[in-house]
Chains A and B, each alone.
Chain A
Amino acid sequence: MTESLRSSATEDELDILVSVAIRRAEVLAEEGDPGTPAAWREVRLYEELLSRITAPTTVEGGVARVGAVYAALAAGDRLDAEELAEKYRAEGLTDERRARLDTILTEDFTRRGRRYRYLWQTGRLAALDDWKNKSRTETTRVFPLAA
């Protein structure tokens, strides 16, 4: 499906797309498939599209916005998740959805703290996010390629 088609999809169509994408991402994650982050990025895409066409105070609007942040975290894109969360908070989410956003961000921080214990203990967990973000947008490598 092209980007333009995705952008013109109706709410019902996006509901179907996001449902299928979530199930696929969950199955891939369960099996430890390397395609899992890409699957969660697809979930995020649909959730973001849903967020554009739904009001933040509605049930579906709130679910989509929290879903976009959740999918970004599940894909390992922590900085993107924080940016999205900030944007959605500014849109006027309900208190319940704000609390949910805070919870999933905190849970992710705790989970990563356990995984990268040394970075967490030395207060450098954010540096990992910076590096991951750069590695996605630039061609930075740990070791330079041979000439």
Chain B
Amino acid sequence: MALQRAGHCSPTAACIDHVGQPSSAADIVWEMLSTIDPEVVPHRRLTEHAAEAIALTYVHSWGRWSVKRVMNEGEFADWLLAREDDRLALEVGGVTGTDGRAKLTQKLGQIDQCTVAQQRLAVVVAFGKPEILAECR
């Protein structure tokens, strides 16, 4: 829904800008909806949930991380991910436009305060391009 609302059709190519990793791209495929009623899902929540879906898929594809659980508010991370005995704290954000840099900086500020897991990652999805921005801490 969030990608369609931004004017994209399935499949669409997303640029991946992951600090420390070579630039790459990925096709995002979804079941197209014939209509999008903005009243059904609030604007902000739609962006957040769509960003989480894409971020979790990306992180699994990138590092084989799987979802462990949602984190409580106040842990400065949205998700706890697992890969065998390793744990990763993930903070996710989404923007409807094309520039996700400011949002990534904000999310990095949050994940920097997360002390529960040694490995931490912030991912932001900019739906306008679309683009996936990621940075490890």
Contacts and interface: CB of A to CB of B under 8 A. Distances in A.
A19 B72 contact: no
A59 interface: yes
Contacts of A16: 69
Contacts of A19: 67, 69-70
Contact of B75 (A43, A60, A63): A63
A16 B73 CA distance: 17
Interface in A16-61: 16, 18-19, 22-23, 26-27, 43, 59-60
B115 A22 contact: no
Interface in A98-136: 99-100, 104, 107
A75 interface: no
B117 to A, nearest CB: 6
A99 B116 CA distance: 11
B87 interface: yes
Contact of B70 (A18, A66, A70, A97): A18
A85 interface: no
Contacts of A71: 72
A66 B31 CA distance: 39
Contacts of A107: 74
Contacts of B80: 59-60, 63
B72 A59 contact: no
Given A66-B75, A70-B74, A104-B74, A60 B115 contact: no
Interface string B69-86: 111111100001000000
Interface in B46-87: 67-75, 80, 87
Contacts of B87: 59-60
A71 B70 CA distance: 13
B70 A96 contact: no
B73 A63 contact: no
A141 B72 CA distance: 33
Given A59-B87, A60-B68, A63-B80, A26 B116 contact: no
A109 to B, nearest CB: 14
A100 B115 contact: yes
B73 A26 contact: yes
A22 B116 contact: no
Interface of B: 45, 67-75, 80, 87, 115-117
Interface of A: 15-16, 18-19, 22-23, 26-27, 43, 59-60, 62-63, 66-67, 70-71, 96-97, 99-100, 104, 107
